[in-house]
Structure 1
Amino acid sequence: MKSLVPILLLGVFLVGCSANEESKKEDNNDVTTYATSTTEEGSKKGTPQDASKKTVTIAQEGENKAFNLTMSEVKKEWTKVAKQVEGMDNIQTITNEQVSEEDGKKVYTATINDQLQLKAFITKDKGHIESISLVTAPPTKDEMDRRAELRLASLVLSSIVQPDTTPKEREDILSSQLGFSVEKTDLNTIDRPSTHNKVSYVLKNSNGTLYFELSATDIKEQK
């Protein structure tokens, strides 16, 4: 497989150009331009411009808070950005979708590729997302392609769930607050939480499984 690291900068540029064209074609209420800059510290270039975005809000639904966002919407937006961004060839589809019960909660699971899965806890009535995670075995420091793919997928997921954030803010959350560097981070020991505009972010290795999670419940409210 062609190495992703050297082409990601090109992907950043392409998504800005492509999204501008798409925004002319789509209804303004259904257009999202994604911040997918995946470059490392000191080499951030080509930040894409944001177009009109779907507004994602948080509301109390039963005992928990949830985003006004369903997994079908996430899949639709993921497919859209996959057509715009260079470097998503191996993470462009969401397949094998299943809904089950886990500890009395409704759980959605799906496959992005053989090594990366998507998991979400959703409300029973409306199917709104309470929390959503990318799930994988932690890539080693030598698995640069997998690390770059995971970082790109994390930025894309962030832009779908919290589209009011800017490209710079998403980079800051992932790099500075969660400490995710393609080249440097030890993903076997990582356990970093953060919060932005009442949305919780966590990058955590739990018993050998790595999770990048966004939750509608603010960290400060979690017990």
Structure 2
Amino acid sequence: MAEITIKATDGSGAFFAYVARPKATPAGAVVVIQEIFGVSASMRAITDAVADQGFIGICPDLFWRLEPRVSLTDKTQSEWDKAFALLNAFDQDKGVDDLKATLAAARTLEGGNGKAGTIGFCLGGRMAALMAIRSDADCNVSYYGVMLDALAGELRSVGHPLLMHIAENDKFVPKEAQGTVLAAAMPNPQVEAHVYPGVDHAFARVDGQHWDGRAAAIANGRTAAFLARWLA
């Protein structure tokens, strides 16, 4: 496990990214997009798991413009308060630019095969959908993305493969919003969406409050097959 430094494309500075490498190369790269808790222990564990599946995992620090190296949990109210403050201050357009810079860096990493995709969770789930819309990522995976209903018009014309995992009882994504997303996305052959019955937001965060082993195993299995299809 290591870190690399990536220069922002607007010349405003640089940010770190956590990197985990697979045993065998050449391999495709997966940009792991953080939740509102930063490059946390959970995100690092997911990046490690991506490497275990045979890909180069790279998790960039998207909050660096606000506060570098944020690493929070969902265990205390103070951490939730800080996480939402960061979310509200976060410039998503700049975030997409930083993800594009990460994607470009990922494609040139030693041991890479030139292919790169994204996988994001919560805020990262929205950012992964934005990358499917705005970038040339080879594939994108969105876990319980928030505010996706606001992207409904753009989801209809997504041109790159996008896999979406939606929690039926997501406290941050009402059923009406889920319906809007599904109605927009499902006619698009580039988009694959699955709804997981009875689970809440962040059901795939191993150490989280709403972890659901069964739903996580099904979602993660679909993700592994999806990544292997597009990044092998």
Which one has a larger percent strand, Structure 1 or Structure 2? 1
Normalized against structure 1, the TM-score is what? 0.27
Higher helix share: 2
TM-score (norm 2): 0.27
Query: Which gives a bigger RCO, structure 1 or 2 (Cα 8 Å, sep 6+)?
Result: 1
